[in-house]
Amino acid sequence: MTSRRDFIATSAALATTVAASRAFALAPERLVLPAQDDPFASELALEALNAAKAAGASYADARVGRYRRQNISTRERSISGVSDAESYGVGVRTLVNGSWGFAATSELTKDGVARAAREAVRLSRAARAVQRRPIELAPVAAVKGTWMTPIRRDPIDVPIEDKVALLLAANEAALKVPRVRFVTSGLQLLREIKTLATTDGTLITQTFVRVGPSFNATAIGDGDFQSYAEEIAPRGQGWEYIESLDMPGNAERWAALAAEKLGARSVEAGRYDLIIEPTNLWLTIHESIGHPTELDRAMGYEANYAGTSFIAPPEKHINQLKYGPEFMNIQGDRTQEGSVSRVAWDDEGVPADQWLIIEKGIFKDYQTTREQVAWIQKLTGVSRSHGCSFADSWSSVQFQRMPNVSLLPGDRDLSQADLIAATDRGILIRNRGSWSIDHQRYNFSFSGQAFYEIRGGKVAGMLKDVAYQSNTPYFWNAMDMIGGKSSYWLGGSFNDGKGEPGQINAVSHGCPPARFRQVNVVNTARSL
Amino acid sequence: MRSLFQNADAPFLTRDQAKSLTDRVLGMAKADETRLTLNTGWSGNTRFAGAEITTSGGITDTSLTVTSTVGKRRASATTNVLDDASLRRTVDLAERLARLSPEDPELMPELGPQRYLTVNAYVDATAALTPEARSEAVKKAVDAARDAGRATGDMFVAGFLEANAGATCLATSRGLFAYHPSTDVSLGVTARTPDATGSGWSQGAARNWTLLDPAALGRRAAEKAVASRNPVAMEPGMHTAVLEAAGVAQLVPSVAGALNARNADEGRSGFSKPGGGTKVGEKIVDARVTLFSDPADPDLLAQPFDADGFPLARRVWIENGVLKQLAYTRFWAQKQGKEATGGGGGGGGGFGGTPGGLKFPGGSQSLDQLIAGCQRGVLVTHFFYTNVLDARSGLMTGLTRDGTFLVEGGKIVRAVKNFRWNEAPLIMLNKIEEIGRSERTRVGQVMPPMRVKDFNFASLSDAV
């Protein structure tokens, strides 16, 4: 059995391999499609940099993005939408006297990109009027190269009939379940080609492929209705992942849970030991660890929107805050295979990184971009960006976004069954339901899709109307058991929101199941 | 100058340019029916934190969605590359996807020419908000906030200013052509005291930039922050709540969002009656509650057509507490023999948002009067991270934020810690003590402040 220490060591070795291969396309043996550069995009990007420099920028980057997004949605035996969207444009970011400006255009001509570059410089100059300290960027080595998400089959190229047939077969299977009257299912498929050029000499083109399936069934009976959404993780993989899910083969089992919920016992509010499956816990990690460890948040940059962080100021928390028990290790990375946040370089040309945000229960480091490094370098000793810069479109400015943030498995390879067997009175919680957390990430509320009572080490029937409402420091310090390596599962989302104007980010979170002692559970049923 | 009609170099398409583009693309189409949706616009934004600008941007883009119908099959393709070759490729892709898609039994034909309400939602002053003008406005808001908070030290001020100018255009092969230009602008300011124990917020939004007062917004955020310092813990429980309009605006629209007639008919909505049927005609909330949509209302000025080009009219959803009507897509209306209300989006799709805006006409009392009439309760500035906990009752959870205060004997006594609450808007609208004067809470939305009994404040939050 691999110990946790070994697991981390292995991860570190992997990071070294990644670092060594950064100068060229990664893992070529896994690719079925070669990563490609885009000469037209490169030329436009360099044109934009020249215009920005000529207009007075001390630093500039230009990002040409070509996005293809396909969405298919169905309900019962019919199709509710098939759409295919292409978006192509360039965003130019400039520094003049230490102030940022950004302009974006879909006019992809030399004149068009030069105009955008000059507009960005104009914005930089306008920002000077309200600037107190100049932006400083941590150094990064110039890089030239290409990379592509390793896939076996490009999901966009799969015939639309096959995609629709797969979803309708899943719906048909679900509708076999008595009292299941409504089913929706869908596929979100995405291919992004991004070229980044910077005045530091970086020129890279990356192709990202991501897939996100969904399934939801609703049962009606006895004057009630209950839904069950299967937690199907989005992945940075190709069509082979969708096929591996066997949605048509599993849909009947999933839908049966919606029908079973109609007869489930309504939970009695109170304190319970919770065993939280990875299909639910990934989101709790996202909200209560992922967001508060964003450095821009801790520094107040999100104060007017998503909020700040209880982990502030940094000098009072780095190496001091006890987040949870000693076996709690939280990794930030943009390297995990199949994760949706995986890249070779971020949107500032910084190589993908992997590091510990929490080590042995103690908070160690934040998520960073180039301009943020200097803010905490003296506290962490880290002089590089962790590579967390991302923009969701050519028309959006890049800023600090969450990488994959994951709870590493425990030393002992415990299974979920082991956790249940060790629990006398508790509730097992499966899949993501409703979620909410305060603007400094203390007080949260999470529900799920299926809940089971645990009595005397055994599952003792289904519950409904369950939500756990707790606060971050209490909750993580109440964790007393976690599963091992073989119980680790990677969940995630395409749609994490942050920033003004709002941007979305795709992020994965891996974790084993874990047990939390005496957490507050509320009953969510109300009658009108 | 970014004026739409006077300047050929405007960064979005004029009506004539849009007509010419859609005519050209319709000429390429071979499907039985084709609908084009053109979104063209400019957006300028300035974001600030720590009393300085952190990012700012200017974006111009025009995208065209082609929705093709072949028999009962329909699909769409979108592009923002507008040369002839790309447009032709996009039309071909939409038609190919449509042919490959299974038949949609709920498909409704595209619309022909329609008549729309006249709505003038475009204001030059908003479209002309240059980077320099935005920086100037931000400086006013920041300076006013720092001045107002001076007694507590150097106030941390963050916020966001965004202006949009653009147009939505629809054209179908059946002869429909609709073009609706609009502008909007919003400025939000958050001020935090240097000791990190107080936080305040204010926001303004309008179609017309000249209606916003950046200094007043900055001042109000700072005053809230100063007043909310050093909050004490108040026992959670059922307390009377005085909700500012911004808070009401985070709860009540969910009621409108649940008006989908199909869900109600199918037994999966808070408006379904146990055993079948809907609650239309029944008194569901306090008799002082009326909720309506009306694109032409001068306080709303919403787009007068939906995504299909269907005309949006005044629709009264709840009148004097009685559920007057539900929202019908064209398909569901035809199936049930009812009048469509719009907001469908083609087939049997849902009722997304509240097209045509949403207005809750209030009473005559000011916020101060609502507070003065409160014996003991909690004054709430606004909410954060609201989410539905139970779809059957519409039970929501969320948190208070940026200024939560104990009110006793009609006066604000002191700042209290934030709460998590669990409350269903439909239940809350049956516990109203008083409704105040309504105000614009965002573009296309008007809501009043109100005082309600027994609001369920469930637990404490340490967040400031």
The segment(s) of chain A belonging to CATH 3.30.2290.10 are: 4-18+27-263
Residue A22: is its pLDDT beyond 50? no
Taking residues A171-183, what's their average pLDDT? 98
Residue B5: is its pLDDT beyond 50? no
Q: Report the percentage of chain A scoring pLDDT > 70.
A: 93
Taking residues A470-483, what's their average pLDDT? 98
Q: What are A421-436's pLDDT values in tens digits? A: 999 999 999 999 999 9
Helix/strand/coil for B92: helix
Q: Which residues contact B322 (CB under 8 A, 6 or more apart)?
A: B281, B282, B283, B284
DSSP strand pairing (A362-363 vs A389-390)? unpaired
| Residue A27 phi, psi dihedral angles, 5° rounding | 40, 60
- Which of A16, A339, A90 has its CA nearest to residue A208? A339
B342: left (phi over 0), alpha (psi -120 to 50) or beta: left
Q: Is-contact B448 B363, C-beta < 8 A?
A: yes
pLDDT of residue A33: 53
Among A83, A295, A304, A441, pick the best mutation site for testing chain B contact (most B Cβ within 10 A): A304
Which residue in A has a C-alpha nearest to residue B137's C-alpha? A130
Contacts of B348 in chain A (CB under 8 A): 75, 78, 80
Contacts of B58 in chain A (CB under 8 A): 102-104, 119-120, 123
Taking residues A181-209, what's their average pLDDT? 97
pLDDT of residue A35: 67
Q: Is-contact B431 B454, C-beta < 8 A?
A: yes
Residue B350: is its pLDDT beyond 80? no
How far apart are the C-alpha atoms of B398 and B402, rounded to whole Å?
13
How far apart are the C-alpha atoms of A7 and A20, rounded to whole Å?
20
The least confident of A196-210, A312-326, A478-492, B349-363 is: B349-363
How far apart are the C-alpha atoms of B350 and B369, rounded to whole Å?
40
Provide the mean pLDDT of chain A.
92
All domains in chain B, ordered by first residue: 15-221 (3.30.2290.10), 231-251+362-461 (no CATH)
Q: Is-contact A434 B388, C-beta < 8 A?
A: yes
How far apart are the C-alpha atoms of A463 and A262, rounded to whole Å?
10
How far apart are the C-alpha atoms of B442 and B203, rounded to whole Å?
9
pLDDT of residue A2: 34
Q: What are B76-88's pLDDT values in tens digits? A: 999 999 999 999 9
Q: Which residues contact A501 (CB under 8 A, 6 or more apart)?
A: A396, B43, B45, B57, B160, B162
Residues forming a β-bridge with A468: A446, A521
Reply yes or no on domain A4-18+27-263 having CATH 3.20.20.140: no
Among A468, A500, A520, A527, pick the best mutation site for testing chain B contact (most B Cβ within 10 A): A500
Q: Is-contact A220 A142, C-beta < 8 A?
A: no
Residue B283: is its pLDDT beyond 80? yes
pLDDT of residue B392: 85
pLDDT of residue A13: 34
**What single-letter DSSP state applies at residue B108?**
-
Distance from CA of B102 to the nearest CA of A (A): 7
| Sign of the CA dihedral running A362, B385, B464, B160 | positive
Quick check: B422 contacting A, CB < 8 Å?
yes
- Establish, for the pair of chains A and B, how many residue pairs have beta carbons separated by less than 8 Å: 284
What Å distances lie between residue A413 and A273, A326, A480, B96, B206, CA to CA? 21, 17, 15, 51, 58
Among candidates A310, A397, A437 on the partner chain, residue whose Cβ is nearest the Cβ of B57: A397
Q: What are B29-84's pLDDT values in tens digits? A: 999 999 999 999 999 999 999 978 999 999 999 999 999 999 999 999 999 999 99
Helices (H), B194-292: 214-227, 245-248, 253-257, 261-265
Residue A215: is its pLDDT beyond 60? yes
Q: What are B406-463's pLDDT values in tens digits? A: 999 999 999 999 999 999 999 999 999 999 999 999 999 999 999 999 999 999 999 9
Cα torsion B191, B193, B197, B202 to 10°: value is: -20
Query: Is A8 or B373 the better-scoring residue by pLDDT?
Result: B373
Q: What value of ipTM does the predicted structure carry?
A: 0.91
Which residue in A has a C-alpha nearest to residue B56's C-alpha? A101
Quick check: B112 contacting A, CB < 8 Å?
no
At CA A221, angle to CA A218 and CA A227, rounded to 5? 20
Contacts of A438 in chain B (CB under 8 A): 384-385, 399, 401, 418, 420, 461, 463
Tell me whether residues A100 and B55 touch, CB distance under 8 A: yes
Among B268, B272, B386, B456, pick the best mutation site for testing chain A contact (most A Cβ within 10 A): B268
Taking residues B7-34, what's their average pLDDT? 89
Peptide bond into A313 cis (omega under 30): yes
Q: Which residues contact A417 (CB under 8 A, 6 or more apart)?
A: none
Which residue in B has a C-alpha nearest to residue A119's C-alpha? B58
Tell me whether residues A84 and B78 touch, CB distance under 8 A: yes
